[in-house]
Amino acid sequence: MTETVIVLGAGQAAAQLVLSLRQGGFRGRVAVYGDEADPPYQRPPLSKAYLRGEMPASRLALRAPALYARQEIEIVPGARATKIDRVARKVSFDGRADESYDRLALCLGSRPRPIPIPCACPDALLYLRSRADADALRDRIASSRDVVILGAGYLGLEIAASLVDRVRSVMVLETATTVLARVAGRTIAAHFEAVHRRHGVGIQLGVSAMRIAAGADGRAVVHASDGTAYPADIVVAAIGGVANDQIARDAGLDCDGGILIDARGLTSDERIVAAGDCAVMRPAAGARALRVESVGNAIEQAKAAAATLCGGEYAADPLAWFWSDQFDLKLQTVGIPDRTAAEIVVGDLAADRFAVCYVRDGRLVAVDAVNLPECLIEAKRLIRSSEPFDETNMRNVAAGAAARAPATGSGR
């Protein structure tokens, strides 16, 4: 029987993993070491309601501290792990005693990808990942007039939507020729770009920031590849994330853009599991490893890892899901949208109530639904089944959504 599970990292995956451990009957010691100041909290609001000051910090917590205490789960904030000794089975920390483990869970998360350009105004350059980052950004917004955001992925666009009515100008610079280039198809990209422009967000596509200089007025100036200079009080870089896998690589665990795990959450060391943003599922032979950063992924991988530590099994739901709230657009996604798939639009684009069905070889692979969750239900069923995509049926679902009687039927 395993006696001590040490968890490194204290985010969504860690919180799920330890609670699932107790639900699964694990009675040994459970201790969670996170390098941030807070116990596990939700990150999605940091670029949305929390950034806008519409959600108090007390609501960010994933669970009440008392719950961890009742479940005899130790949560240790401010603890940065520096080394894993797999032979002695202990973890070293910065400024605190080593911890021995029987099993180790790595829920180390990810960090913002640093922008690879010279910056003469480091004080003006901000990233958004942690609550501390969001607090810093909020503090700076109050005294900022012009904001430049680097990157038009979901995070960059959510930040733009949250800030555009709080400052004089928001300009988003994106290297790709569309917004959301890596994460959504062309229909969604064009629609979100138009909505952002309508709300006053400036978007410059196909340009890269080359350097951030100090302007004569003490503000930053972003010099772009097209020769344009954008003065800014703050520059927010949102060009993706990088797995926090250094400590695992140093310990000799197999990593490939993240800590490689199998379906049970096991790393290349059978005493060590990993889950969430830091982990990547070991791909099938010949396939490319795809690391997913999402709440749903963190929860499913954490449940699988917890089951493994309890000696059981959990069949993780392989269907990816995401959401993004921008202005009045509530986007929900199932599957992984892919620009090699055909895009079939159902519903009403002009009314901001539509879904984009991504179809390849006659099969539905993903759906982006905007203010139209009804289409997701059918999409989930279809993606899981091996049935061919039926466009007429999906159109009927979309058309029927407005008229649908509330909350009846099997709902399956």
Window of 114-122, 126-134, 242-250, 320-328 that interacts with other proteins by CB under 8 A:
320-328
State in angstroms the smallest separation of the CB of 407 from other proteins.
5
- Residue 341 sits in the site that holds other proteins (CB under 8 A): no
Among the listed ranges 207-215, 222-230, 253-261, 293-301, the one in contact with other proteins (CB under 8 A) is 293-301
Name the 3-class secondary structure at 175: coil
41-46: long-range contacts, CB 8 A cutoff, minimum separation 24: 41/11, 41/131, 42/12, 43/11, 43/12, 43/129, 43/130, 44/295, 44/323, 46/128, 46/129, 46/130, 46/131, 46/133, 46/134
Beta-ladder partners of 110: 243
Contact region for other proteins (CB under 8 A) — 80-88, 93-101, 190-198, 318-326?
A: 318-326
CA distance linking residue 28 with residue 5, whole number of Å: 7
Token code pair at residue 129: 């990942």
According to the binding rule CB under 8 A, does residue 242 interact with other proteins? no
Q: Of residues 74, 135, 325, 338, which one binds other proteins by CB under 8 A?
A: 325
Residues 48-67 that bind other proteins (CB under 8 A): 59, 61-64, 66-67
Q: Which of 376, 382, 383, 394 binds other proteins (CB under 8 A)?
A: 376
Which amino acid belongs to residue 162? S
Number of Cβ atoms within 10 Å of the Cβ of 102: 15
Rule CB under 8 A: say whether 24 interacts with other proteins.
no
Q: Which of these ranges, 148-156, 161-169, 246-254, 319-327, lies near other proteins under the rule CB under 8 A?
A: 319-327
Contact segment (CB under 8 A) with other proteins among 82-90, 94-102, 158-166, 376-384 equals 376-384
The answer to whether 134 touches 42, Cβ cutoff 8 Å, is no
Which residue from 158, 174, 368, 374 is in contact with other proteins, where contact means CB under 8 A?
374
Contact between 305 and 8 under an 8 Å Cβ cutoff? The reply is: no
> Is residue 370 close enough to count as binding other proteins by CB under 8 A?
no
CB of 295 to other proteins, least distance (A): 6
Give, in order, the Cα–Cα distances in Å from 244 to each of 20, 110, 259, 263. 23, 5, 9, 20
CA atoms of 64 and 39, how far apart (whole Å):
9
Closest distance of CB 279 from other proteins, Å: 18
Which is nearer to other proteins, 213 or 323 (by Cβ)? 323
**Residue at token pair 């200079």:** 229
Quick one: how far is CA 22 from the chain centroid? 26
Pairing of β 241-243 and β 363-370? unpaired
Under the binding rule (CB under 8 A), the answer on residue 299 touching other proteins is: yes
Max intra-chain CA distance, the chain: 66
The only residue of 45, 112, 241, 347 in contact with other proteins, by rule CB under 8 A? 45
Q: Of 317, 348, 352, 390, which one interacts with other proteins (CB under 8 A)?
A: 317
Among 23, 100, 228, 246, binds other proteins (CB under 8 A): 23
Judged by beta carbon, residue 377 or residue 399, the one nearer other proteins is 377
* Span from 94-102, 174-182, 270-278, 325-333 in contact with other proteins (CB under 8 A): 325-333
Nearest CA to 372 out of 391, 349, 398, 394 is that of: 398
| Residue among 206 and 400 whose Cβ is closer to other proteins | 400
CA atoms within 13 A on the CB side of 254: 15
- Is residue 292 within the footprint of other proteins (CB under 8 A)? no
Q: Least separation, in Å, of the C-beta of 250 and other proteins? A: 32
As a whole number of angstroms, the distance between CA 225 and CA 222 comes to: 10
CA pair distance 236, 230, nearest whole angstrom: 13
What letter represents residue 402's amino acid? A
Minimum CB distance to other proteins smaller for 22 or for 103: 22
Q: Which of 160, 259, 279, 401 is the binder for other proteins (CB under 8 A)?
A: 401
d(CA 382, CA 365) in angstroms, rounded, equals: 9
What whole-number distance in Å separates Cα of residue 367 and Cα of residue 385?
Answer: 15
Write down the residue that tokens 């759906």 correspond to. Answer: 367
Segment interacting with other proteins, rule: CB under 8 A, options 102-110, 180-188, 265-273, 292-300: 292-300
Q: Which span sits near other proteins by CB under 8 A: 166-174, 237-245, 261-269, 404-412?
A: 404-412
Binding residues for other proteins, rule: CB under 8 A, are 19, 23, 42, 44-45, 59, 61-64, 66-67, 70-71, 295-296, 299, 317, 321, 323, 325, 330, 332, 372-374, 376-377, 380, 401, 404, 406-412
